[in-house]
Amino acid sequence: MLKIGYLDLDNPIAIVTPYQNPNPEEAAGLVLFDGIDLDRISIDDLESFLDELHLSAALGISVYSSEDRPILDAARLASKRLYLLELDFSRSFEKGRPLDLIPKIKKCGTTLSLRIHPEDLTNDLINATKREGLDLIHLDLQRQNGTGSKLVKKIVDLRGPKIMALETVDKFEDANILLAMGADIVSLHSPDPEFANWLAGAVKDYDRITGWYNAPKHICSGGDIRGLAFCCPPIKRCPVFNALKKVGMTPDDFVQRKVMLAKGTPLEHGEGTCFGNLVWCCKITKPCYLREVAMERIKLSGKEYMELKRKLAEELLKYES
């Protein structure tokens, strides 16, 4: 369902669980073993623990150390076993060190996450981590008093690495708010196992039914830049202009690019809709008789429509000015 580097996740729910927990929740898409202090735990001991595991989920190890050498040893181990390696800078942030370590770790071929508090994550650091090939920012939002989704949107709008959002999640809606702002994965710290398994299944079902589990809102409703997939042609003043500025795209480029990306796909049809083709049409959750009729005519389901919009958003945001 979701690919991050060499990891294939069955669903976008991650469980952050203490190192040496032998029985983490099975249904999660990712199980991340947490708190591995490589100043105290040897790579051999870590490897012995990992040898005993028999889990179907993708696995990750979240490490920290005062020295680079054990971190690089762990990176090679993670790469060999196709595990996620996470550099945990949420315990203590050392300015400059993440950017020193990321290229060294990426040279080991490791899929890499950086765990960090939002207050340590400057725009420059987001841009630099993307340049250096970081696969995932694991954003610890647990102290943000409900403003976490806005911080997720900030990273998405900068087109930074993929995002794993660590938040207190008690119900489906809590996870959905983070996903709708662009989080690729929601992580839960030592959750109730029954709830974690239920949530993993619920998000997977939601994706199967809707076609886009973390679909954005319309930009004029506060959505992130992926919402450009639902925007109409920029004719009258509205928030689309500001979103295009963030991407560095002119309104003319936007129109040409959307038309070009729709070519040969069902989105180029849409007789009777506001702008004559579905590429300009709104999110499926906005009821619209005109779009429904146009989709019925070409036998396009709501799920297929949203899958096409998801692909469209990905292609639109590959734009380099």
Segment interacting with ligand SF4, rule: CB under 6 A, options 30-38, 84-92, 106-114, 277-285: 277-285
Binding mask of the shown chain, residues 219 to 238, with x at each position contacting ligand SF4 by CB under 6 A: xx---------xxx-----x
- Give yes or no for residue 309 binding ligand SF4 (CB under 6 A): no
Q: What are the distances in angstroms from CA 18 to CA 33, 40, 56, 63?
A: 6, 15, 18, 12
What span, in angstroms and rounded, lies between the C-alpha atoms of 265 and 260? 10
Is the CB of 138 or the CB of 218 nearer to ligand SF4? 218
Q: Pick the closest to residue 193 from 201, 185, 203, 204 (CA basis).
A: 201
Q: Tell whether residue 260 is a contact of ligand SF4 (CB under 6 A).
A: no
Among 43, 282, 298, 317, binds ligand SF4 (CB under 6 A): 282
Using CB under 6 A as the binding criterion, the count of chain residues that bind ligand SF4 stands at 17
Taking CB under 6 A as the binding criterion, the range among 59-67, 134-142, 166-174, 214-222 that sits at the site for ligand SF4 is 214-222
Pattern 289-308, ligand SF4, x by CB under 6 A: -xx-----------------
d(CA 319, CA 3): 21
Q: Does 288 interact with ligand SF4 (rule: CB under 6 A)?
A: yes
Residue 279 CB, nearest approach to ligand SF4 (Å): 10
281 binds ligand SF4 (CB under 6 A): yes
Min dist CB 245 to ligand SF4, Å, is 13
Binding residue for ligand SF4, selected from 77, 280, 305, 308, defined by CB under 6 A = 280
- Pick the closer one to ligand SF4 by CB: 26 or 253: 253
Q: Write out the binding residues for ligand SF4, residues 147-176 only, by CB under 6 A.
A: none
Distance CA 186, CA 14 (A): 6
Asked if residue 240 binds ligand SF4 (CB under 6 A), the reply is yes
1 contacts ligand SF4 (rule: CB under 6 A)? no
Interface with ligand SF4 (CB under 6 A): 218-220, 230-232, 238-240, 273-274, 280-282, 288, 290-291
